[in-house]
Amino acid sequence: MKLHEYQAKELFQKAGIPVPKGRLLTSRDKLGSVLEEIPGPPWVIKAQVHAGGRGKGGGVRLVKGQGEAAEAVAELLEKPLVTPQTTAEGVIVHQLLVEEGVDIDKEFYLGMTVDRKLACPTMIFSPSGGMEIEEVAKQSPDLIFKEPVNPATGWMPYQARNLIYKLSQVPGGYTVKELSSTMKKIYDLFVANDCSLLEINPLVITKQGSVIALDAKMTIDDNALYRHKDLAQLDDPREKDPLEVLAEAASLNYIRLNGNIGAMVNGAGLAMATMDVIKLAGAEPANFLDVGGGASEEMITKGFEIILKDERVRAILINIFGGILRCDVLARGVLEAAKKTDIDVPLIVRLEGTNVEEGRKILEESDLDFLVARDMAEAAELVAKEVKRQG
């Protein structure tokens, strides 16, 4: 789960990591009162969307007065923002963060993530932070420095010095102290909140010599959300695919993809294999959906409804190997969903396993129109053929 910049900065502030003074703005008419509370001009007005690269897309505006601020708000709020990380349509900006402008002297990159190869949390630091960090990583990887952290000892003060002394110009003692303390706090915050990513880009030294986190990115491991109820509440469903939001509410493992074959499968492994055979047959899946081993009739109904809601779906493949999930439960779930929605695309079913006879019988005795496939390969060929037939 991703946090918005303003949410992450609130956590930073509580942890004692310095951030600019700022206020969230959700409606144009509050701008005047918000500006009164924030030192400036200059102010910075920042679109709050999960997509990165906002600066490049015009989502970060440095404004020198009330008039310019009002213009920026009018251009950004409730409008789509296109960045290098969004689709061409962009994402709608519902919230802006208004902050005091900072006099930047140097921009660094400071991040923390779990390094999969080293299998431990790792601090990443670069003296060339800012909007071009991806280019820096590609062109001059020697400017990206890493400090893996042994979870048994935690972050050690010498590791901060290791990173800071990589700077060609080591700043004065006071700044070194501030940088090291920020690194330690970032590590603690990362661990305490079960983050998979924590990123400050840029972490700046101001012309006045203080260290400030100008940007903040935090991703929380979804599997740890059960023990961070307060963080789970910060989730912004507007940033997500609406079908994925429905699926999450129904405890279904659903991921929307780019193709046009709706797939309903039980078991993540079988679902992955099903995607593979669909592709092998020359077609593209519209989604990944693992209804899970112990899916109830309601879950099946919900899953099928979600597939039917996806306008791009031109054919549906149900591939179930009944184990704990019995084929008759699946059949009833599908019929239940079919009652609520018109199925106007071909349906291909491949059922095997527990209560398969009963499941087939339920489907056959219904007025549902579907094709039966004997095995997975045939199922994939049938859906691919159906989609090709539609042109």
Binding residues for ligand GDP (CB under 6 A): 44, 46, 52-55, 60, 62, 101-102, 104, 107, 130-131, 201-202, 214-215
**In the complex, what is the shortest distance from the CB of residue 1 to ligand GDP, in angstroms, rounded to a whole number?**
18
Token pair belonging to 111: 């991040």
Alpha-carbon gap, residue 236 to 256, rounded angstroms: 18
Pair 86, 57: CB distance under 8 Å: yes
d(CA 47, CA 188): 28
Least distance (Å) between residue 62 CB and ligand GDP: 5
Residue 83 or 201: the one with the smaller Cβ distance to Mn ion is 201
Biggest CA pair distance of the chain: 81
Kindly write out the interface string for residues 214-243 of this chain, putting x where it contacts Mn ion by CB under 5 A and - elsewhere.
-x----------------------------
- Is 109 one of the annotated active-site residues of the chain? yes
3-state SS track over 259-325? CCEEEEECCHHHHHHHHHHHHHCCCCECEEEECCCCCCHHHHHHHHHHHHHCCCCCEEEEEEEECCC
Q: Which does 101 bind (CB under 5 to 8 A by kind): Mn ion, ligand GDP, none?
A: ligand GDP
Shortest Å, Cβ 318 to ligand GDP: 41
Active-site position among 99, 199, 305, 381: 199
Of the residues 5, 107, 109, 187, only one is catalytic, namely 109
Tracing tokens 């003296």 back to the chain, one arrives at: 127
Q: Is 352 a catalytic residue?
A: no
Q: Residue 209: name the closest of 62, 101, 100, 106 by CA.
A: 106
- The item of Mn ion, ligand GDP, none sharing an interface with residue 184, based on CB under 5 to 8 Å by kind, is none
CB of 278 to ligand GDP, least distance (A): 36
Question: Whole-number minimum distance, CB 17 to ligand GDP, in Å?
Answer: 15
Q: How far apart are CA 283 and CA 291, in angstroms?
A: 22
Q: Where are the alpha helices (DSSP H) in the chain?
A: 5-14, 31-37, 66-76, 133-139, 157-164, 173-192, 229-232, 242-249, 268-280, 297-309, 327-340, 356-365, 376-390
Is there binding between residue 290 and Mn ion (CB under 5 A)? no
Q: Pick the closer one to ligand GDP by CB: 12 or 304.
A: 12
* Spatial separation of the C-alpha atoms in residues 73 and 86, rounded to whole Å: 20
Nearer to ligand GDP among residue 134 and residue 276 (C-beta): 134
Residue 272, C-beta contacts closer than 8 angstroms, at least 6 positions apart: 288
Q: With CB cut-offs between 5 and 8 Å by kind, which of ligand GDP, Mn ion, none does residue 102 bind?
A: ligand GDP
Tell which one of 175, 193, 201, 274 touches Mn ion (CB under 5 A).
201
Taking the complex as a whole, the smallest distance from the CB of residue 249 to ligand GDP amounts, in Å, to 29
Which x/- pattern, by CB under 5 A, does the window 16-45 give for Mn ion? ------------------------------
CB of 129 to ligand GDP, least distance (A): 7
Q: Which does 235 bind (CB under 5 to 8 A by kind): Mn ion, ligand GDP, none?
A: none
Output 130 or 262, the one with its CB closest to Mn ion: 130
Nearest CB to ligand GDP, comparing residues 102 and 250? 102
Please say which residue, 128 or 201, places its beta carbon nearer to Mn ion: 201
Residue 115, phi then psi, degrees to nearest 5: -80, 115
User: Within a 10 A sphere around the Cβ of 140, how many other Cβ atoms?
Assistant: 11
**215 vs 381 by CB, closer to Mn ion:** 215
Which of Mn ion, ligand GDP, none does residue 60 bind (CB under 5 to 8 Å by kind)?
ligand GDP
187 close to 221: Cβ distance less than 8 angstroms? no
Gap between the Cα atoms of 272 and 278, Å rounded: 10
Q: Considering only CA atoms, which of 112, 114, 78, 111 is closest in space to residue 94?
A: 78
Catalytic positions, written as ranges: 109, 199
Query: Can you give the binding site for Mn ion, defined by CB under 5 A?
Result: 201, 215
